[in-house]
Each structure stands twice: as structure tokens, then as C-alpha cells.
Structure 1
């Protein structure tokens, strides 16, 4: 998968296969045992099972959509709070947040087990980065008479894109197929190479803060392409979360799912913010 947060985990990726071609989560012996036990159930046992209250997350210790929603919402609230504090108190610290966020993001992405403490630390670092970079981009749109509210516009655009991606995936109009993920991976590699080249050239060629390859009309087109990639990434993220829920992943992996969504949303917000800054500055 394109998002390393999900693709590096066997919980959300494709199921592994056993020796006889069965999924690694079970096998012929497990299936036979389950069938035997089910055949041995009497009517009284079945009646008792049907009459019992529904199992909760605490009872099953399995991943649910509610877990993912609650943890994602909590991390988003923390992200916004830290970003707002950084905006008003110390916007110049965005470099610290950027470096810390990059390191913590890589550590969390490739950990086999989710670490709530490290995920929260990543969210705080990204909040510092977003608060400072948002303040910088907002200041760049000052034209002598007014400052364009590009931060608010970027926030609204991010949530609108998130909602549209979720609606398309839920409706079944967009399906995550091997061809879809293969195209997304190729596009992501190309965009990453382009971004690295833009950063390198910015040390040797003059630019207005976005890099020589992200200026003017070219920058707007690249930004729109990146927003499309981020939206496609969200759809893949939704599909990975669905896989985890259907497989009965442990409840602790709700932290991994929430972290993956936060990573994509941060990227989406930055791309929309950059588009608005370039457009209003021109």
C-alpha cells in the first residue's frame, strides 16, 4: 500500500498465506475444530448466546470503527490546539516541529506495535509545525490592504476533501483494486522525486519561498496533482482500516489507524495551504 503506516503492518495489509494456502490467522485444523464445536452445541446453548447482550469493544478487545473515530478525533483536537498555541506564542518554532515530526513519523510508521505515547508526541510536533508554517504562509498573502484567510480556507478544504473521499469510498464508486494501488504508488514515487529535486534546486536557484519548481502556474498544477494524490491516499487508508476491522485486529491498532489518517490529513492540508498561498501571492 502507499501509506507506510498501513503497508508496514500485517494487520492492515494483505493476509499472509500458510503452507496449504490458508490465511495465516487460522488453518484447516482451526476450521475443523470450530466446525466440531459448533456441531456439538445444543439448542439451550444457542438460545443463551442469542439472548446475551451484544459484545462491546472491552469484551472482545477488537478494533472497531468507533475506536478509530474517537482516537482520530482526539488527535485532531490536540493537533489544532497545539497549532493555535504555536501560532500566537512561538510561530518561529516550526522548524523544530518539522524535524521532530519527521523523526517521530518515521519511528511510528515502522514500529511493529503502536505506541500511543509516540503517536501523541508526533501529533504535538506536527501541531507546532503546522501552527508556524500556517502563520508564515498567511503572512505571505499580505497585499498592503488585507490578509487573505487562507488558513481557514485550507482547513475547510481539507475537511471537504476528506468528506468527499469518504463518501466516494462508502458508496462503492471508487474501489481499491491492485491496479489502483499500483498507480498510486507510481505517482507517489514520482511526486517524491519531484519534491526532493525542488528542495535541492532551491539552494541554487532563486524562488519566492515555494521552490523554483513550485512557482506560479506550474506550482498550482503540481499542487492540484498532490491534492489528488492525498485524496486517493485517504481512500486507500479507509480500505486498510476496513480490512483491520473485518479481520478482528486488536483494539490497540486503532492508534495506528488514527495515526495513518493524521499523516495523510496533515499532508493534504499543507498542499491546499500551499496552493492558496501561491494563488493569492500571484
Structure 2
């Protein structure tokens, strides 16, 4: 099956070879001709059905279950960090969690790792980061965390509805544009962070009209990134990728939700300052 994603194509071919190798050459009792391995069956009346694949392909339900599990881990970690971490340790822990989360995110994304333990660790790290950041924002803006959480899931479900209705499609052109835009935004944010460490204010995160505009752009792009996730999940299911890759799909959704939540949280703080 053709796909615009070369990585998925490669994984799909590997999955086909894995499934093909799961069929035996002999039937019960050693009878030849078992399964679709190409052996002649001398006794057609005693032919046996093909053996089931050793690796079950992923389904949409697999992705949903794993996404809910990762969100639960993230929420529990966030709540634990909010309640248990002393204020004096909050800042260094936020920096550490941000760096570890960034490294883990890159490793899982670029190596296409479908390890549930590694993805679970990422959810714990991100939950710790979000819990401490949310606590800091809530101390200045009462109720902002609930507002940001509600808005985040509202945007996510809206994008799911629009994708389901085929209002927005993950076409190859759309994917290329989105990847270019997200790469550019990430580069801008990293440059802005480095400059901020040296005391340079670019105006992108200080609550100015420029900062509000930049946050709006990030929110729109983060919302549209779910279309890429949904499209990749559909292709993965259609190509019969192994069930383990449902963890990779769930990881992608979690990354988008974290980014969207942080941008909405920041935008709400800007608006309340005004």
C-alpha cells in the first residue's frame, strides 16, 4: 500500500514480512501445506486454515486506550508534583524536567521507539513539568489552570470532529507545510530561550501584542498538528503496523496536548495581565 510517509512505508513492509513469517510450513501432525507458505496440499479434504499472525496489528481502540493511559500518568504525576514538591525545589526541578522531556521526546520521535516504558517515563517527566508550571501560574492567576485544561481538550475534540468530517485532511502538501512551520517555530522558540538566558528580550514572551500574536500562531499550529497525528494513525492502521506502534501514536497526541496546553496557559496569562 502506498503512503506519503516513507517511515510508515518502511514500517509497513517490515510488518508484512513479520506477518508472513508467522505462518508455518506444516499443519497439525506434520501435514505439509499448512497456511499460505506456497506448499502443495496433497490432501485437499484435510486442508487446515492459515495460522493467525504472531503479531496483532494495531487498531484505533489500541491508540485510544494508550492515549488515555498516558494522560492518566501525566495527570497523576502533575498532581503529585503540585502537592509534594517544595517551592524551593520547584524551579530547578522544572528546568531538569524540561531538559529530560526534550531529550526523551527527540529520542522517541526520531527513533520511532514504541517502548511503553520509555513513553511512560516521558509522561511522568512531562506531568512533573506541567504540575509545577501550572502551580506557578495558578498562584498568580486564580482559575487559569482549569480554563487552560478545558480549552485544550475543547480544541482537541474540535479538531477530531473536523478531521472525522473530512473538513481538514492530512494531505501530503498539508504535511509538508506543517512540518516546515513546526520546525520554524521550534527554532524560533529555542533562539528566544537562549537570548532570554543572556538577558535579551525579543518581545515574544513578555505579554506584548507581539507575544499575544505569537501565542495565537502557536496555538493554531499546535491544533493543526493533531491532523497529522490522526492521519498517521489512520495510515498505520490501514498498513497493519504491529500493535506496539499504538504507543508511538499515543505519544504523538500527548506531545501535541502538552504544547497546546502550555500555549493556551501563556495566552490566558497575557490576557489577564491586560
After TM superposition, the score normalised by the length of structure 1 is 0.76
1:120 aligns with 2:120: yes
Residue correspondence of structure 1 range 184-223 to structure 2 within 5 A: 184-205=178-199, 212-215=203-206, 216-223=208-215
Distance in 2, matches of 1:108 and 1:174, equals 27
Using CA pairs under 8 Å that are at least 6 residues apart, name the structure with larger relative contact order, 1 or 2: 1
- More divergent stretch after superposition (166-175 vs 178-187): 178-187
- TM-score (normalised: structure 2): 0.78
For residues 137 and 236 of structure 1, the distance between their equivalents in structure 2, rounded to whole angstroms, comes to 30
Measure, in 1, the Cα distance between the counterparts of 2:16 and 2:242: 16
Residue 158 of structure 1 is matched in structure 2 by: 152
Structure 1 ranges of 4+ moved more than 6 A? 23-27, 42-45
2:59 counterpart of 1:64: yes
In the TM superposition, what are the counterparts of 1:1-282 in structure 2 within 5 Å? 10=7, 13=8, 15=9, 61-90=56-85, 92=90, 93-141=93-141, 147=142, 149-205=143-199, 212-215=203-206, 216-282=208-274
1:116–1:24: structure 2 CA closer, same or farther, 3 Å change rule? Answer: closer
CA distance in 2, matches of 1:249, 1:69: 16
Task: Figure out how many residues of one structure are paired with residues of the other and give that number.
Answer: 243
Q: Deviations over 1:71-109 (max 9, x none)?
A: 110110110111011112216032222122112222222
5+ residue gaps, structure 2? 21-34
> Distance between the aligned counterparts of 2:147 and 2:45, measured in 1?
60
> 1:60: Cα distance to partner?
6.1
Q: Kindly report the root-mean-square deviation, in angstroms, between the aligned alpha carbons of the 2 structures.
A: 3.2
Structure 2 residue aligned with 1:4: none
Question: Deviations along 1:128-187, whole A, 9 cap, x unmatched?
Answer: 00001111122233xxxxx2x111111101100110110111101111112211221222
- Distance between the aligned counterparts of 2:242 and 2:16, measured in 1? 16
Contact 1:138 1:277 in 2 (8 A): no
